[in-house]
Homo-oligomer: A and B are copies of this chain.
Amino acid sequence: MNIENLTLLTDFYELTMANGYFEHGLKDEIAYFDMFFRKVPDDGGFAIMAGLKQLIDYIEQLEFSEEDIAFLRSKNIFSEAFLTYLKEFQFECDVWGIPEGTPIFPHEPIITVRGPVIQAQFIETMVLLSINHQSLIATKANRIVRAAEGRAVMEFGSRRAQGYDGAIYGARAAYIAGCCGTACTISERMDGIPALGTMAHSWVQLFDSEYEAFAAYAKTYPDACVLLVDTYNVLKSGIPNAIKVFHDVLLPMGFRPKGIRIDSGDIAYLSKRARKMLDDAGFSDCTITASNSLDEYIIRDTLQQGAKIDSFGVGERLITSKSEPVFGGVYKLAAVEKNGKIIPKIKISENTEKITNPGFKQVYRLFSKESGEAIADVITLFGEVIDDTKPYEIFDPEHTWKRKTLTNFKAEKITTQLFSGGKRVYDSPNVHEIKKHCAFEIDRLWDEVKRFEFPHKYYVDLSPELWEIKNNLLKKYSDE
């Protein structure tokens, strides 16, 4: 359970390749790798970057313990010189990335690693694992939060998560993406994410009656009294008993009720009836929470049907991104250096969407000065500057006759350096800051990009320089 050292949480081929590079004198060959993804989960219009802090922590702590070395030696395939190299391992790469909470789009580099190939290759598994997992959950959670249209969404999925830090870092990603809190207690102790929760059905069952169970809870938590009303029958028993306890116990103690929670049945119908019963009893300030197998579609539909729900508790469909549980980020070689010169590399595929963008790159986001909204992302070569004081022409990299000249726009470089020569040069913001950044950046996207189904396809273009490099490489390979 106590996994303190995750250095060997890496695909074994990273080690066979590393040893191979070492043996063939290639260990200091400088290589550039990009992480990018090809498709937004759930066919959404954008994803959300997350998991960077944990990746940075991993890289900063990266070292091979005596135990790791002894284990690798026991495999009898690694040279002693290579094992000594690992023992003395010092991370020397430069790393760039897009900050957590930022909307991200297919094909743009969200992480770029430059350095000795043996090192830049080695961290592949953890780059992908960290970013794929949390970006997946953040992207899904934000869909659910958007469906709730300003109502609170609480992450309730720990028990159905895929492993312990599926729960912990899933709760983190959900909070970043807009959830107001989580049921996962350790997330508050670790990161200050509000931990929320009141009672299970077993609380109600353990007392001789629902009334007694509610009364006992109200006495213990008079200022945070939320009652679960569906153990027996919501409308015939749960709500009437809750109202009785509000009158008998809470008001005499000088407190108002906080809310009720409905965890089964038709929540659209039940919430409307419950609202009326509470209002009629003088408790229009008592909120209604719903929490039964919810996702963005069910929340949207129940709200369209006039459900009177103030907040949602969302479990398994959020914490596993049930409808699409994989974020398919990949990590591909983009360039190597020969005699100090960058040689772009491309991976060709018969499947054209699997062709990579070659070279050492960065990403700009262009905003309309008029509306403030994002117009397009442009992937450029590293160091290219998009001068937003002059008109700038963007074009579709596949259908190059589709062109548009931008004026009155602002160009923001969204790629940030994280490590320089192996040293961290970036301070991870705390989760509250990331959450704020996320909300702010999503606000700057067109509504059309935020549709759940068939969203507008946001432009991710290439600078003319980058496009030319790519096109020349494609020509070269097709000529062969």
Across-interface contacts of A6 in B (CB, < 8 A): 1, 164, 186
A221 part of interface (Cβ distance < 8 Å): yes
A129 part of interface (Cβ distance < 8 Å): yes
Q: Could you jot down 8 A-B contacts, CB within 8 Å? A: A8-B189, A12-B185, A13-B199, A14-B185, A17-B200, A21-B206, A77-B224, A129-B161
State whether A162 touches B325 (Cβ < 8 A). Answer: yes
State whether B129 touches A16 (Cβ < 8 A). Answer: no
Assembled-state Cα–Cα distance A54/B310 (Å) = 38
A residues 15-74 with Cβ under 8 Å of B? 15-17, 19-21, 23-24, 26, 29, 31, 33, 54, 57-58, 61, 67-68, 71
7 A-B pairs besides A12-B183, A15-B185 with CB distance below 8 A are A19-B220, A26-B206, A133-B162, A133-B163, A160-B326, A162-B163, A205-B345
Assembled-state Cα–Cα distance A349/B217 (Å) = 23
Across-interface contacts of A201 in B (CB, < 8 A): 332-333, 347
| Count of interface residues, chain A, beta-carbon cutoff 8 Å | 105
Copies of this chain assembled into the complex: 2
Q: Which among A4, A58, A195, A202 has the greatest number of chain B C-beta atoms within 10 A?
A: A202
Q: Which of A165-173, A241-249, A275-283, A420-428 is the interface stretch?
A: A165-173
Q: Which of A117-125, A381-389, A402-410 is the interface stretch?
A: A117-125
State whether A322 touches B333 (Cβ < 8 A). Answer: no
Assembled-state Cα–Cα distance A129/B219 (Å) = 31
A176 part of interface (Cβ distance < 8 Å): no
A residues 102-139 with Cβ under 8 Å of B? 117, 121, 124-125, 128-129, 132-133, 136-137
Question: Which residues of A line the B interface, CB within 8 A?
Answer: 1-4, 6-17, 19-21, 23-24, 26, 29, 31, 33, 54, 57-58, 61, 67-68, 71, 77, 117, 121, 124-125, 128-129, 132-133, 136-137, 156, 158-170, 183-186, 188-190, 195-203, 205-206, 216-217, 219-221, 224, 231-232, 264-265, 316-317, 320-322, 325-329, 331-333, 336, 345, 347-351
A13-B197, A168-B3 known; A221+B33 contact, CB < 8 A: no
